[in-house]
Amino acid sequence: MKLWRWLWLLVTLGVLAEGFRVALFVVPPDSAQGNVQRIFYYHIPSWAGMGLFFAINLGCSLVYLAVRNRNEALAIKADSLAVASAEMGVVFCFIGLVTGSLWGRAVWGIWWTWDARLTSTLVLWLIYVAYLLLRRFAAGPQMRTLAAVMAIFGYLDVPLVYMSTRWWRTQHPAPVFGGAPGSGIDPSMMPAVWWNLAGWLMWGIFVASLRYVSEYRAQKTEQAEALKSLEFAPGQTQMAGGRS
Amino acid sequence: MGDMGNRHLVLAYAATIAIHLVYLGYVAMKWRAAKSAAN
């Protein structure tokens, strides 16, 4: 691993440790919910991470579809980053669902309810799990194209998830940030939001970059082996320029 | 809510860290596999 990655990891762990300290020991407890509201400081970064990495996946899928027949090197890079970002997004989405469920149990008395926000988020998670399963089990040259198209359709659920608490009445609370006038949290709680948002996004970028490198290496190796097997296939005759 | 809330808070933080570490393990496995295949 390169030096800058180690430095990035070191800074990330420092930010995460500070975020943990500020969230649990510095900012005041919520006046209505008490300490359990502190789940918010890990819940929000999960959704921010999910939004960021699914957006990267969408961008990379569009780039892949645009260049796959013209620029193979760029297509491999875009496709590798699409895989890495989809996996990272699925991880963040899963954490958001788990922390939300634990919070819901403590505050609402239920683990789950089929309201618009929770249901559309579960569907989003399932769409991207299906995307990863397609990539894992389908074979052949069309798999990457199919996956890219699926990613574009899958992303259509993201704005639906975001707007669900604005369009429908839900058990899930109204938006805290960017919601109606008067929404938001007390300024004394904001340091916990910022530290954890920064820390978990930096962590996501670190892990996704490692995953990108390994996927890129794997795809390059696969491509080299495919070319080699075409060049040295036993018993094959030369097709172009030969006299066989 | 009291004690139950605190228990859920601890579980939420522990689950977040655990899930990230499990995924990091998977990424490390993929990293090693890709590196050895390339050599």
SS3 assignment for chain B: CHHHHHHHHHHHHHHHHHHHHHHHHHHHHHHHHHHHHHC
Would you say residue B14 has pLDDT above 80? yes
pLDDT at A183: 74
CB contact under 8 A, B30 and A218: yes
The total of structural domains in chain A comes to 1
Q: Which residue in chain A is spatially nearest to B30 when comparing CA positions?
A: A214
The parent domain of residue A120 ranges over 33-175+189-219
- CB-nearest partner of A214 from B5, B15, B30: B30
Residue of A nearest to B22 (CA): A91
CA closest to B31 among chain A residues: A214
**The predicted structure's pLDDT at residue A244:** 39
Task: Say what percent of chain A tops pLDDT 70.
Answer: 93
Residue entry with tokens 């249901």: A119
Residues of A in contact with B5 (CB under 8 A): 33-36, 106-107
| A100 vs A93: CA distance, rounded Å | 10
Residue pairs between chains A and B whose CB atoms are closer than 8 Å = 89
Average per-residue pLDDT for chain A? 90
Q: Which residue of B has its CA nearest to A107?
A: B1
For residue range A129-167, list pLDDT tens digits in order: 999 999 999 877 789 999 999 999 999 999 999 988 888
Distances (CA, A) of A197 to A40, A119, A162, B10, B31: 11, 24, 18, 19, 26
A127 close to A154: Cβ distance less than 8 angstroms: yes
A34 phi/psi in degrees, rounded to 5: 75, -145
* Whole-angstrom distance, CA of residue A184 vs CA of residue A223: 51
Give me the pLDDT at residue A163, please: 86
Determine whether the interchain pair B15/A102 forms a contact, defined as Cβ–Cβ distance below 8 Å: yes
Which whole number is the average pLDDT over A211-232?
88
Residue A50 has pLDDT above 90, yes or no: yes
Residue A14 falls within a domain, yes or no?
A: no
Contact A214 B24 (CB under 8 A): no
Token digits of residue A65 = 């579809």
Predicted local confidence at residue A243, as pLDDT = 40
Mutate to test the interface with B, among A35, A46, A94 (most CBs of B within 10 A): A35
Q: For residue A236, what pLDDT is reported?
A: 57
Look at A37-51, A126-140, A166-180 and tell me which has the smallest mean pLDDT.
A166-180
In chain A, alpha helices (H): 3-21, 40-67, 72-107, 116-137, 143-155, 157-167, 190-231
Cβ within 8 Å, pair B30-A215? yes
What percent of chain B shows pLDDT beyond 70?
90
Give the closest-approach CA distance of B25 to chain A in angstroms. 10
User: pLDDT at residue A235 above 70?
Assistant: no
User: What is the amino acid identity at position A107?
Assistant: V
- Residue A242, pLDDT above cutoff 50: no
Least confident of A36-45, A210-219, A222-231: A222-231
What's the pTM value of the predicted model, to 2 decimals?
Answer: 0.91
Residue A71 domain flag: yes
